[in-house]
């Protein structure tokens, strides 16, 4: 016989085929899923991309512009004028304060001098016919003491020169004299005393200075 009759399929044969078909389907599905996962690309959220672009635009708009050279020059000129005006006001205020202090110091000194001047006027009013020379001299010495005390109170004091070595920082030589008692360059006498205002030379002493005999 050309065609052989098909043998009837048993239950065991049917179950075996069914299992084979299920395995093929499972393999195809898994293979398909794996390929799909490899090909699939992540989706981009367009809303996030739009926000990023918007922030970039805002930052670009907020960037400061380059300063205008003319504006900077005007600001510098205004600052200079303000400083000049402030300095001028400070100078005027300082000069006014100094003048006030000087006037106050002169006023105090003048008041003290007026008291001494009163004593001089009283001395001049003394009747010389009724007052002896000794009493008049004592009165003048008293006034002189008041005057020197006032100068000392203000920091003004005389310094001695006679017998000292001539010092151009302290003395002004009016003449030279021959002297056997002093070596050359020594102050022999004073024409007027020298005075110091604390440590400053207020007035040089006018003196005569010794020299060798011819």
Domain boundary among 130, 154, 178: 154
> pLDDT tens digit string along 200-214?
999 999 999 998 776
Residues 99 and 161 in one domain: no
Domain membership flag for residue 206: yes
Residues 116 and 164 in one domain: no
Domain boundary among 115, 138, 154: 154
Residues 149 and 161 in one domain: no
Rounded to an integer, what distance in angstroms lies between the CA atom of residue 56 and that of residue 50? 10
- Please state the domain count of the chain: 2
Given a cut of 70, whether residue 28 has pLDDT beyond it is: no
Average pLDDT of the residues of the chain: 78
Given a cut of 60, whether residue 11 has pLDDT beyond it is: no
Given a cut of 60, whether residue 34 has pLDDT beyond it is: no
Residues 123 and 178 in one domain: no
106: helix, strand or coil: helix
Residues 130 and 168 in one domain: no
Domain boundary among 133, 154, 175: 154
User: How buried is 205 (Cβ within 10 angstroms: 0-12 exposed, 13-18 middle, 19+ buried)?
Assistant: buried
DSSP 165: B
Q: For position 102, which CATH number holds?
A: 3.90.20.20
Q: Average pLDDT, stretch 121-144?
A: 85
> pLDDT tens digit string along 92-108?
999 999 888 888 888 88
């Amino acid at each position: 016989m050309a065609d052989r009759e098909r043998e009837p399929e048993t239950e065991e044969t049917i179950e075996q085929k069914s299992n084979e078909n299920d395995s093929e389907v499972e393999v195809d599905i898994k293979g398909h899923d794996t390929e799909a996962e490899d090909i699939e690309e992540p989706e981009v959220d367009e809303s996030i991309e739009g926000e990023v672009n918007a922030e970039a635009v805002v930052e670009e708009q907020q960037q400061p512009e380059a300063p205008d050279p003319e504006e900077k020059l005007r600001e510098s000129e205004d600052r200079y004028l303000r400083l000049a005006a402030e300095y001028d006001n400070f100078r005027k205020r300082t000069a006014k304060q100094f003048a006030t202090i000087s006037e106050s110091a002169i006023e105090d000194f003048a008041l003290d001098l007026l008291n001494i001047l009163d004593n001089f006027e009283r001395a001049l009013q003394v009747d010389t016919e009724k007052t002896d020379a000794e009493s008049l001299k004592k009165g003048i010495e008293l006034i002189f003491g008041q005057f020197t005390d006032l100068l000392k109170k203000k920091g003004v004091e005389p310094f001695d020169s006679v017998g000292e070595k001539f010092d151009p920082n302290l003395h002004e030589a009016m003449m030279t004299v021959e002297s056997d008692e002093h070596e050359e360059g020594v102050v022999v006498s004073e024409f007027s005393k020298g005075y110091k205002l604390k440590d400053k030379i207020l007035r040089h002493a006018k003196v005569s200075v010794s020299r060798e005999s011819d």
